[in-house]
Amino acid sequence: MHITIFGTGYVGLVTGACLAQSGNHVVCVDIDEDKIARLTRGEIPIYEPGLEQIVHDNVRSGRLRFTTDAEAAVAHGMLQFIAVGTPPDEDGSADLQYVLKVAATIGAHMNDYRLVITKSTVPVGTADKVRDALAQALNERGVDVAFDVASNPEFLKEGAAVEDFMKPDRVVVGVDSDRAAEHLRALYAPFNRQHDRTIVMDIRSAELTKYAANIVLATKISLMNELSQVADRVDADIEQVRKAIGADHRIGYHFIYPGCGFGGSCFPKDVRALAQTAGKLGYETEIINAVERVNDRQKQVLFDKLSAHYGDLAGKTIALWGLAFKPNTDDMREAPSCTLMEALWAAGAKVRAYDPEAMKETRRIYGERADLTLCDNAEQAVEEADALVLVTEWHIFRTPDFADIAQRMRAPVLVDGRNIYKPSYVAQAGFTYYGIGRSAASGATRHVV
């Protein structure tokens, strides 16, 4: 099939590369000239395991091309995917300007039937707006060209995006015509060899499905983080609780890891956007609002633990391991590390940090500043530090030589933001250990309940 993808970010680039890999002819178009120039030179602008190889292979075979020429891109694909950003507006609702701009661009250039598929995460009812934008553009040209619109939300996870796209749990397709359903079933057939994972539904339900999935996952995280706060106060160990409740099949082990809050480009904005959508329709969401509030509070937990230990943090040096919002990505959007660093700087502390992939992005966001030292490796980051904070659980941080780390630090204090270390083992190396909801495990003073 001939396919055009608007937007070459995390979703657009992965979608384009994976669809080319399954034999389609794909043109990826972006308005960011620098990004397209880099992609054309063979540089991958984001870090995503396995992506570089697929992009290179398919560019070489001629099945994947990059351009800024929207007119040529509209001429290329019968299937036109919209995979541009939907950032939060001032009030938290999704900003649709980029999606609707693409729809208008397609309408301005299309001369034959086009199936316009929204892959971006968009509020329920957006397909109607896409349809209107297309119709208006055609009307302005005085032409009558047939088209369909569809919703095909994307469920890939950054850090495992290629794997998720190639082996999806399900492919959700929202359509209002048989023609659109047939094209999308054919497109996804190569990803359905084992059994059919395509779920075809009406467009509005497909649009809502994406928000529903992210909100259920975000709720699990916030709920567990709330329980970890209780565990801290009653002197219990949330990790033992987690293992015991995860064994219940109705609960399961996924997404019940307590930590320092969720970040990234999706959960925070999608939680806010659905609450906004419901609010505008006169329904105030209670649980969804609480998911966001609990998360905002949880992102402060690392700073609070450092403050509780030291009191005044002015003049202290804090080492951070991990900056990306999760492992295997360089994405820093809404990362807990940002909340922590900004609070530390406001308190007059200095930060020394190391992340395997996100240091360039950190520098881009914060620039050169005297209170931020980006280090070449994990050991360098802890030199003369008053505390070490594990923020992102990259594999490389899993089994450090704690005796050596303690030697390098001014004071052996460890805040484990992801509960990846065994408190008794760390204590043997002389560390004072603080986990998330693990006061029992770390031997803290018993509270009277």
Ligand X SMILES: NC(=O)c1ccc[n+]([C@@H]2O[C@H](COP(=O)([O-])OP(=O)(O)OC[C@H]3O[C@@H](n4cnc5c(N)ncnc54)[C@H](O)[C@@H]3O)[C@@H](O)[C@H]2O)c1
Question: Does 154 sit near ligand X (CB under 6 A)?
Answer: yes
Measured from the CB atom, the residue of 80 and 442 that comes closer to ligand X is 80
Draw the binding track, 98-137, toward ligand X (x: CB under 6 A; -: no contact).
Answer: x--xx-----------------xx----------------
Known active-site residue 18: no
Contact between 150 and 180 under an 8 Å Cβ cutoff? The reply is yes
Question: Does 326 sit near ligand X (CB under 6 A)?
Answer: no
Which residue in 18, 28, 266, 338 is the catalytic one?
266
CB of 376 to ligand X, least distance (A): 27
Residues 345 and 425: their CA atoms lie apart, in Å, by 31
Question: Does 156 sit near ligand X (CB under 6 A)?
Answer: yes
Residues 191 and 364: their CA atoms lie apart, in Å, by 37
Measured from the CB atom, the residue of 319 and 335 that comes closer to ligand X is 335
Please state whether beta strands 2-6 and 25-29 pair in parallel, antiparallel, or not at all (unpaired).
Answer: parallel
Residues 65 and 27: their CA atoms lie apart, in Å, by 5
Question: Does 83 sit near ligand X (CB under 6 A)?
Answer: yes
Residue nearest to ligand X (CB): 9
DSSP H helices, 237-385, are 238-246, 267-280, 287-298, 301-310, 336-346, 359-366, 378-381
CB of 263 to ligand X, least distance (A): 12
Measured from the CB atom, the residue of 120 and 225 that comes closer to ligand X is 120
Draw the binding track, 240-269, toward ligand X (x: CB under 6 A; -: no contact).
Answer: -------------------------xx---
DSSP string of 7-20, one letter each residue: --SHHHHHHHHHHH
Question: Does 274 sit near ligand X (CB under 6 A)?
Answer: no
Question: Does 219 sit near ligand X (CB under 6 A)?
Answer: no
**Pick from 417, 435, 92, 88: which is nearest to 261 by CA?**
417
Segment near ligand X (CB under 6 A); pick from 19-27, 94-102, 130-138, 170-178: 94-102
Q: Single out the residue of 86, 328, 439, 442 in contact with ligand X (rule: CB under 6 A).
A: 86
In sequence order, the 6+-apart residues with CB closer than 8 A to the CB of 334 are 263, 264, 265, 268, 269, 325
Contact between 84 and 106 under an 8 Å Cβ cutoff? The reply is no
Size of the site for ligand X (CB under 6 A): 26
Subset of 3-62 contacting ligand X (CB under 6 A):
6-12, 29-32, 35
